[in-house]
Amino acid sequence: MQADITSRIRKDLSENADEKTKNSSSRFFKEEVKCLGVKTSIVGKIAKDYFKEMQKSGKADKKNVFFLAEELLKSDYCEEAYIAFDWAYQVRDQYTEDDFPVFERWIENYVNNWAKCDTLCNHAVGSFIEEFPEFVDNLKTWAKSDNRWFRRAAAVTLVLPARKGLFLPEVFAIANILLTDKDDLVRKGYGWMLKEASKPHQQEVFEYVMRNKKEMPRTSLRYAIEKFPPDLRAEAMKK
């Protein structure tokens, strides 16, 4: 069953791959990426259909799903990583504290572009942190990593929780650690986190930006203030 499902997924993906999609996907990345060239909507449907099949056959338990996810991740294809991380999110009601090291290992071993980072961290890891908030401090450790994907992960994991108004002190703590980061994708990541935090906490994020705008790279600043009203945006952009 396990080998069978991954080989069937791979067959479906290769049958839906096309060169035009493959070429257009690679334009979104500065680094070399391994993509088959399958449209995101089709990848999403394949992920959903096979997950339903696993549910029907009683194979959608977390242990099995994580095992299959890891098998898919080993190929390094973006589309297979999307399915793996989508499935990991689908079993979020089965998460336990023991899953944090699994997510950490996946970032270390399999995340090598911003799309993989965001697909895993926005949903699966973000949901985990909401359920087990005592792990939020681990994100500060990620933010100090030499690995750019851990640093981006520290910020994008809090994007959806921040939108709900959660973890504001941690949002600012992570932004402080990443404030002058040299990596463009890390700068965009923490700017995005601040932007989402500004939706429920506009005044606090505005004050944070005003305090730090001399050090903050313009990329991060522009992301952070994107949802501000025009007058606050203009104030923040002043030299």
Domain residue ranges in the chain: 1-94, 112-238
Q: How far apart are CA 196 and CA 199, in angstroms?
A: 6
Q: 52-61: per-residue pLDDT in tens?
A: 999 999 999 9
Q: What share of the chain is helix, strand, coil (3-state, %, to 5)?
A: 75, 0, 25
Q: Would you list the DSSP string of 136-194?
A: HHHHHHHHT-SSHHHHHHHHHTTHHHHHTT--HHHHHHHHHHHTT-S-HHHHHHHHHHH
Residue 210: its pLDDT value, please? 98
Q: How far does the chain reach from its first CA to its final CA, in angstroms?
A: 61
Which residue numbers in the chain have pLDDT < 50?
none
Residue 37 confidence (pLDDT): 87
Q: Let me know the angle formed at the C-alpha of 221 by 163 and 238, rounded to the nearest 5 degrees.
A: 130
Classify domain 112-238 at the CATH topology level: Leucine-rich Repeat Variant (1.25.10)
pLDDT at 130 (0 to 100)? 98
The pLDDT of residue 2 is 59
pTM of the model: 0.94
94-128 pLDDT, tens digit each: 999 999 999 999 999 999 999 999 999 999 999 99
